[in-house]
Structure formats: C-alpha cells, structure tokens
Copies of this chain bind each other. A is one copy, B any other.
Amino acid sequence: MDKAALVIAEKCRNCALRIDDALICAQMSPGELIELSSHSFPTNVDRKQQVNARLLDRNPIIAIVEGVIGLQYVLKDGRRSIASLFWRGDIIDLRRPDGHDGGVLVALTPARVCSLNVETYDKLTRENPDVRAVVIDNMREQIHHASDHSVDLGKKSAPERLAAYIFECRRHQLGGKECRTVDLALQRSDIADYMGLQPETVSRGFKELERRKLIELKGRSKLIIHDKAALRQLANGSPQETSA
C-alpha cells in the first residue's frame, strides 16, 4: 500500500488537476486518488499529435492537465474544423450514444492530458459529491461556451471572431489577473479552423484590428490589447467604427 501511495506520488504529485482546488483530482480523498491514479494514464502529447486512440478506447475520459487540445473533424474533401478547444481542467467524455462519428482529439500546443478509467470515473462521480460538482460544472461551462461559439461562427465577421478569440485566450491565461498581453496559443491555421476562417483571413483580420488601434501584434504568438473596451464591444458584435 505504501508502494501504491508512492506510485501516485510520482504520477500525480505535481499535477495541476490535483493542486488546483477547482479541478477534479483536488476533490478526492487520498484513497480515491490512489484508486483513480492506478487506472489513469498521464501522457504528454506533442503539438499536432493526436491523442492516442488506443488509450481512448479503454479510457474515453480525458482530463486536460496542460496545453490546449482541439476536437478536430476532417470532412471527406479535406476541410478541417476544430469544433471546440479544451484547456487545463477541462474534462472530455468521449462516450457517444451509438455509431456517431465524433472527431478526434489533437494537441494544438504541447499538451499534457490524463486519461481516466471509465469505471473509476463513473464511481467517483457517483459517490463523491465534490467530484460530481466539478464534473457537472465543467459540462455546464462547455455547453455555455459552445453556445457562445455558435454565435461567433453563425453571425460574426472575421474581425469580430478574432476579437472573441482573443478574449477566449485571455480568459484561460493568468488566473483572473489583469494583463494586456495575450498569448494566442494556437497557430494561425488552427485559429482559422476553430473560428471558421482561412489562415489568410486570420492574418488580415489581426492586421485590421491593429489598424484600428485595438491591439498590437508582438511576434507571431503574442499581442497587446490597447483598447480593451472597444475590443470587447467588437467581440460582442457591436457596430464597428470604421475610424479614419
């Protein structure tokens, strides 16, 4: 048993899922953590790599420890779409009603995920109210976020979508701290596939935001927000000034 405890320690000692109070593993008793740990597989996934399918077959519950994972669909003629993004703490339940397709998980940044054993996960959500609360809250957030994202894709212009994307990135950085610098996290083609655009349009869109003095690009992956209020307005779909 000490041996088992040691094994957990190695796997989970520094894991964000356990250390961050708001995340799933932080809700568990030592005993529960030991049990889950023994059936879980933390894995690093390189950017552009698919999350190991064999792992998922037996353990279709994935928790994101670090990085960004995308749910990728590829249409028959090659069009690629990132249906949703998952960030630290998100839990992905890949079980689907029946023969439904469902897309594949791809790391869009270097990422670390932990694949959880279904039985143990189900048992924990059944028996531990705190775990359950975290899981259900996370699902609710995913549903709400998906709604917001549908509005972006359905009715917003390219600059508006990018403004919304900037805030999405911002929200997942700096635990609530104010900061004008935002890391774009994904590369252009992934942003494009996520926001329903082409890479070229993403490029032009950021340029346009810069021209309007809302942001300033800092290298390929960072930018500074210059006018947060106006950027927010734009992200929310307000009539945009075509300032001189």
Interface size class of A (residues with CB under 8 A): 35 or more
Asked if A177 is at the interface of the complex by the 8 Å CB criterion, the answer is no
Query: Which residues 82-117 of A sit at the B interface, judged by CB distance below 8 A?
Result: 82-84, 93, 95-97, 100, 102-103
B79 with A155: CB separation less than 8 A: yes
Name the contact of A154 in the complex, choosing from B81, B102, B136 (C-beta under 8 A).
B81
Residue A203, interface by CB 8 Å? no
Which listed residue (B83, B103, B238) contacts A77, Cβ 8 A? B238
CB-defined contacts of A194 to chain B, threshold 8 Å? 154
**Min C-beta distance of A35 to chain B, whole Å:** 20
Report the bound CA distance from A148 to B146 in whole Å. Answer: 11
Q: Does A81 lie within 8 Å of B140, measured CB to CB? A: no
Contact flags A134-171 to B (C-beta < 8 A → 1, else 0): 00100111111011111101111000000000000000
Q: Are A147 and B238 interface neighbours, CB within 8 A?
A: no
Interface status of A229 (Cβ within 8 A of chain B):
no
Instruction: Tell me the number of copies of this protein.
Output: 2
Contacts A95-B140, A97-B141, A154-B153; is A239 near B77 (CB within 8 Å)? yes
Say which one of A2-10, A23-31, A68-76 lies at the interface with B: A68-76
Task: Provide the bound-state CA to CA distance between A71 and B148, in Å.
Answer: 10
Contact A144 B238 (CB under 8 A): no
| Separation of A191 and B179 alpha carbons in the complex (Å) | 40
In angstroms, Cα B233 to Cα A76, docked, is 9
Q: Is B237 touching A77 in the complex (CB atoms < 8 A)?
A: yes
Q: Is A181 an interface residue (CB 8 A)?
A: no
A-B contact pairs, 5 of them (CB 8 A): A75-B238, A83-B146, A93-B140, A103-B147, A154-B194
Establish whether residues B71 and A147, one from each chain, have CB atoms under 8 Å apart when the complex forms.
yes
Whether A147 pairs with B237 at a CB distance below 8 angstroms is no
With contact pairs A143-B143, A238-B75 given, residues A126 and B126 touching in the complex (Cβ less than 8 Å): no
